[in-house]
Amino acid sequence: MSVTLIDQVLGAVEAAADEAAAFTADLVRIPTVNPPGDAYPECARAIGERLARAGCEVEYLEAEGRPEHTAAHPRVNVVGTRRGAAARPLVHLNGHFDVVPAGDGWTVDPFGGLIRDGRIYGRGACDMKAGLAAAVFAVEAIRRAGVELAGTVEVSGTVDEESGGYAGVAWLAERGRIAAGRTDAVIIPEPLGVGRICVGHRGVYWFEVETRGRIGHGSMPFLGVNAVDGMGLVLRAFRDELQPALASRTTAVPVVPEGARHATLNVNGIEGGQRVGGIQTPCVADRCRAVFDRRFLLEEGFDATKAEVLDLVARAAGRMPGVAHAVRDLMVVPPVRTPDDSPVIAALAGAIARVRGEAATLVASPGTYDHKHVAAIAGVPHCVAYGPGELEMAHQPDEWCTISDLTTATKVLALAVLELTGTVARGR
Ligand SMILES: [Zn+2]
């Protein structure tokens, strides 16, 4: 019985492959560029209407109370619910529908939704409108196969992932729409590759360092204290002392690519003294600021990460008499890691093996995505990313996703939903 049912669902996905590709292309044609957050209501409606046809109850949830939710750029999220015999188990499939700006270097129209040679092209085709289409068509295939779920599936299309997700997944989680005690598992179809399950990401510590000196005449620099020179000492300590230490630390979390398996530090920007290209002013720079992006490992923890930075900045700046310094936190995102024995990993791994005939690979992301809000705000531990498309394609010119990846991911998601809602057990 359940083998037949699984085959029927897989057959329904296969039969809907062109429709799913066309739906992805339709979404690509809605230019949901973020920043600033264009065309969100239109895209939410397109997803909502398709979910309604897939038998879902649809709600449009505007991010009331968020400063970025404005009349010019409303932040509209959409959630479709297909309720089965019971409210739970509840599986939530979440995809963001905002995309980064197109940028230069395209040979096709970034918002044309071109389908050619088995690929869907355009900004967001890979990250992650194909993933959203896979979630929607997983539910549609279950409906077409005539399956009544034992539990419930939700599909959400959310805003602003590319800018932090505060009006999107974080907002839904703050309002209890995605929450422990309600939501049993969350799958985010980000483009990690159809054979890979993403079980988390490293932590982020964004901080600003400021050095202060004393202004003086540029012709008599010995009468002032140059804050840019002070920052130079900090940069040098980061490069000569901190970076080799970070490179030697390796996480057991399977972060890809390989280079991101270590702790890293990037200087994002620096400014100090006279503005370069500005009006000439013969002064000793009395103030310099720089912004850093430190990615830390689960094994390091935030407290030790910050303490190490504070110590190093103090020692470096202290080498130059008269230089004062300050460190300010700009953003802290704790690392996340799905438990190894999580049912969401088992369900996806089983589905991947069945659909692709190969064992799944567990990976972790070098950057962060909405998983952080599911873990920290919603408190749902059973969350992973799994979706169509190649990670390396994200944010690139001529971005594309193959229809075959889209179909594979849709099959895997559909089977995972069947298992996680308790509709069929794996392997039967
Ligand atoms: Zn994405």
**Would you state the pLDDT for residue 1?**
45
Instruction: Output the CA 128–ligand 1 centroid distance in Å.
Output: 5
What local confidence, expressed as pLDDT, does residue 359 receive?
Answer: 98
SS3 of residue 317 by DSSP: helix
3-class secondary structure per residue, 19-48: HHHHHHHHHHCCCCECCCCCCHHHHHHHHH
CA 134 to ligand 1 center in whole angstroms? 14
Query: Phi, psi (5° rounding) for residue 31?
Result: -80, 80
What does the pLDDT read at residue 392?
87
Please give the distance, rounded to the nearest whole angstrom, from the Cα atom of residue 102 to the centre of ligand 1.
Answer: 14
Tell how far the Cα of 127 is from the centroid of ligand 1, in angstroms: 5
Taking the centre of ligand 1 as the mean of its atom positions, its distance from the CA of residue 286, in whole angstroms, is 41
CA 284 – ligand 1 centroid, Å: 44
Q: Cβ(90)–Cβ(103) under 8 Å?
A: no
CA of 47 to the centre of ligand 1 (A): 17
How far is Cα 358 from Cα 387, in angstroms, rounded to an integer?
16
* Distance of CA 31 from the midpoint of ligand 1 (Å): 15
d(CA 237, CA 58): 54
Contact predicate 99/127, CB 8 Å? yes
Rounded to 5°, angle at Cα 204 from 293 and 343: 150
Distance 300 CA to ligand 1 centre (A): 26
**CA 369 to ligand 1 centroid distance, Å:** 7
What are the φ and ψ backbone dihedral angles of 22, each rounded to 5 degrees? -65, -35
Report which residue type is found at 305.
T
Q: What is the pLDDT of residue 3?
A: 75
- CA of residue 99 to ligand 1 center, whole Å: 8
Distance 98 CA to ligand 1 centre (A): 8
Output the CA 418–ligand 1 centroid distance in Å.
Answer: 25
The enclosing H or E element of 138 equals: helix 130-144
Q: Measure 220 CA to ligand 1 centroid, in angstroms.
A: 52
Distance of CA 109 from the midpoint of ligand 1 (Å): 20
Question: How many Å apart are CA 402 and CA 310, to the nearest integer?
Answer: 47
Whether residue 128 has a cis bond before it, omega within 30° of 0 = yes
DSSP string, 197-214: EEEEE-EEEEEEEEEE-B
Ligand 1 centroid from CA 125, angstroms: 10
CA distance 89 to 183: 8
Cβ contacts of 199 within 8 Å, gap of 6 or more:
253, 254, 337, 338, 345, 362, 363, 364, 384
Q: How far apart are CA 257 and CA 216, in angstroms?
A: 48
Q: Give me ligand 1 centre to Cα 357, in Å.
A: 27
Instruction: Evaluate the omega torsion of the peptide bond into residue 257 and state whether it is cis, within 30 degrees of 0.
Output: yes
Distance 190 CA to ligand 1 centre (A): 5
- Separation of 124 CA from ligand 1 center, angstroms? 8
Expressed in angstroms and rounded, the spacing between residue 157 Cα and the centre of ligand 1 is 12
Catalogue the E-assigned strands of 226-275: 264-272
Q: How many CA atoms lie within 13 A of 270 on its CB side?
A: 14
- In tens digits, what is the pLDDT along the chain, a chain of 428 residues? 467 899 999 999 999 999 999 999 999 999 999 999 999 999 999 999 999 999 999 999 999 999 999 999 999 999 999 999 999 999 999 999 999 999 999 999 999 999 999 999 999 999 999 999 999 999 999 999 999 999 999 999 999 999 999 999 999 999 999 999 999 999 999 999 999 999 999 999 999 999 999 999 999 999 999 999 999 999 999 999 999 999 999 999 999 989 999 999 999 999 999 999 999 999 999 999 999 999 999 999 999 999 999 999 999 999 999 999 999 999 999 999 999 999 999 999 999 999 999 999 999 998 899 999 999 999 999 999 999 999 889 999 999 999 999 999 999 999 999 999 999 875 44
Q: Compute, in angstroms, the gap from residue 423 CA to the centroid of ligand 1.
A: 29
Residue 103 is classified by DSSP as -
Amino acid sitting at position 34? N
Distance 199 CA to ligand 1 centre (A): 15
First CA to last CA across the chain, in angstroms? Answer: 9
C-beta neighbour count of 341 within 10 angstroms: 7
Determine the distance separating the centroid of ligand 1 and the alpha carbon of 170, expressed in angstroms: 15
* Ligand 1 centre distance from Cα of residue 56 (Å): 24
Query: pLDDT at position 338, please?
Result: 97
Å from CA of 167 to ligand 1 middle: 15
Number of DSSP helices (H) and strands (E) in the chain, helices first: 11, 16
Going from the Cα of 33 to the center of ligand 1, the distance in angstroms, rounded, reads: 13
Distance, in Å, from the CA atom of 363 to the CA atom of 371, rounded to the nearest integer, reads 14
